[in-house]
Structure 1
């Protein structure tokens, strides 16, 4: 893939990630958004390297002041507050999902695609809650930063796996495949 295509993919991916940030249910200390869905899907579709680079570019935009984080938030201070662990975990979650998809956990195997998406979501919760625990304590981090997100993570993982399945079926039907 040429550098121009990679840049185009990064731009499109950061736009998708930013749009997912605006789908938000405000909560304290961490809002519910579609960011984890977008992060794992970008990783799955782009692979771990380009997916990770795309997520880093998006987070860089947010740190520099562009309104691309949850609910249009912006600024470097979000990376040291309650959401900081989740923001950094997005890189790991997208890369893990992309790495698993590259190894066959993709839309050709729906159960594995779901597991790949779920692993990315779970990693985000673990890393995010670990940082949150430093700020507010373990029990409060689990209560406010993990438990409210479990059902959504499962649903987002199922949606992501279904999208991967649909793309795999479409690729199979395409001429020349």
Structure 2
């Protein structure tokens, strides 16, 4: 590993350690801030039927990468509970427990899976480079789309081919673009957290 890669990896480790550490009060604040970020991301959408395209998935993988799998997973679960309790935090400001039994429920459950997977990999330094970060973000998006399409096929009875046509294919380009944006944001966060060093 060259010096630049080593500095980047150390910087990411410092950032994740800072986010995961601290008191319960600090962690609670981070969870609340994270759910606000996720809600804001969910309000940015392109209307599509039956599944809208939003920035939610971008938010899930970013939270996972920055918070780590425990805090990231807890943040996403808290966000989903907020939506189930009626707070307008889901796509387009939607809310209500019925969304967890409707055609998009698989995507919702996939959110937590994605945050945990991305967070677990980030904690182990897999996101230390832009290319690896992009690959991890793609994996996180896949962890959302896979159960989403499976649930869509089962819940609506439309079958796998149609479920993939309406619940996967339209989102592939967005998956790539949002993964690239998430990886770029993570790399920017690493540079921001990198300690300043004085060279002789």
**TM-score range, shorter-chain basis?**
over 0.9
Q: CA deviation at 1:110?
A: 1.1
1:109 is the counterpart of 2:152? no
Q: Which has the larger radius of gyration?
A: 2
1:124 is the counterpart of 2:105? no
Deviation readout 1:37-64 (Å, 9 max, x if unpaired):
0000000000001000000000000000
Query: Among 167, 170, 173, which residue is 2:192 paired with?
Result: 170
TM-score (norm 1): 0.95
Q: Which runs of 5+ in 1 are unaligned?
A: none
1:1-177 matches, cutoff 5 A: 1-106=22-127, 108-134=128-154, 135=156, 136-174=158-196
Q: CA deviation at 1:137?
A: 1.5
Residue aligned with 2:194, SS:
helix
In 1: Cα distance, 2:90 partner to 2:190 partner? 30
In 1: Cα distance, 2:24 partner to 2:197 partner? 27
Q: CA deviation at 1:174?
A: 3.9
Q: CA deviation at 1:173?
A: 4.3
Paired residues in the alignment total 175
Change beyond 3 A, Cα 1:13–1:174: farther
